[in-house]
Amino acid sequence: MFELPEEVQDIRNLARDFARSAILPGAGERDRSHVFPAELVAQLGELGFMGLFVPEAYGGAGQSVLAYVCALEEICYADAGVGVIMSVNNSLAGWPILAFGTEEQKQRFLRPIAEGKKVGCYALTEPNAGSDAGAQQTRYHKDAAGNYVLNGTKMWITNGPQAEICVTYANRDPQLRHRGVSAFIVERSYPGFSVGKVEEKMGIACSSTSELIYEGLEVPAENLLHGEDKGFSVAMATLDGGRIGIAAQALGIAQRAFDLAVIHAKQRETFGKPIAANQAIQWMIADMGTRIEAARLLTHKAAALKDANKHEPLAVQQERCGRACSMAKLYASETANFCADKALQIHGGYGYSKEYEVERLYRDARITTLYEGTSEIQRLVIAKSLLG
């Protein structure tokens, strides 16, 4: 029998209580209105969820990565849009500053992110640099004072319209591809920073996604993260850990879809009996439940590996944890899509109606196989690791 540590169970239960009392009741309305849930984000910050695994010395809750994924699953069970805001803040904005930042950068930028006083984002993707992250066209150069000037456009940036602190990437010469990429910490108040088009998305609608436009964006020299030409390693290490967050998000969606399917199957009657008595429905339920359990074990294993190796050099962490993170993300995201599809099928025509929650879950699940590395990229990473 596998038991979560007591302290992890406490965090999970706190997240579950908050998610089901404060987040779940308004999920449908947020999906319709597309309004960013600022009040909920502030409450998540007060509870410590916006910097769960960040040490207390930098404003975080000082919990494990395992506690983080368990809490995130519960938040996403209620609303995956709210959950991804939390995930990006922890995994993509907070973690690279924690892992690569100077002491001054951690106190100045990581602390307000971890405390939930400021929202963070991660700006890597560009119009021509998605899965091929090394194809960064955003350029930087140094000015006479030794500071950095960035020019370019980022796209699909989660939290983009609200984020006050942004971990972003630029290339000193696009011909160098990944060898010329550097990482920077940017504040939205800097001259030359603006928010571009805000996307109308298929799902996770309360989570804002936008372009970020840099036009002569002035970045102080001390905001360089990890050193020049080292940005690609920062990006890849960050995505490696961030995939655990998306696995947890997918788990929350899958579990909610499963629970709603079971309830409906027991209540809906055809030909004088509940549809749960039909073998076809039973097999769907069995497959959903089995896949969720397998996905959860993969996700918990990846998180436990991250915790066990957190004091090792980053190269060692990636070697020991990278495959597990990709397996968790791949399997959990495809499980979310499978379960949302089967839940809708079990609901029949009702499931196709926006009156029923499974319709939203079906849309929310779709993104999980795309961002932070598509399923195809995860399979490449896994195969490369298995084949040596």
User: What residues are labeled active site?
Assistant: 372
Q: Distance between CA 250 and CA 330 in Å, rounded?
A: 10
User: How is residue 234 written in tokens?
Assistant: 């920062």
Q: Locate tokens 């190269």: which residue?
A: 315
Cβ neighbours of residue 278 closer than 8 Å, sequence gap 6 or more:
none
> Strand 193-198 vs strand 209-219: parallel, antiparallel, or unpaired?
antiparallel
End-to-end CA separation in angstroms for the chain: 33
CA–CA distance from 100 to each of 138, 152, 166, 240 (Å)?
21, 24, 14, 14
User: How is residue 210 written in tokens?
Assistant: 């936008």
Q: 259: closest CA among 301, 292, 307?
A: 292
CA–CA distance from 312 to each of 60, 291, 307, 321, 386 (Å)?
21, 32, 10, 11, 22
Residues counted in the chain: 388
State the burial class of residue 252 (Cβ atoms within 10 Å of its Cβ: 0-12, 13-18, 19+).
Answer: buried
- What H or E segment, with its residue span, contains residue 148? strand 148-158
Q: Locate tokens 């499963």: which residue?
A: 258
Beta bridge partners of 213: 153, 194
Alpha helices in the chain (DSSP H): 6-18, 27-33, 38-46, 65-78, 80-87, 95-100, 103-105, 111-114, 231-267, 279-308, 314-347, 357-366, 375-387
State the burial class of residue 388 (Cβ atoms within 10 Å of its Cβ: 0-12, 13-18, 19+).
Answer: exposed
Q: Distance between CA 79 and CA 17 in Å, rounded?
A: 13
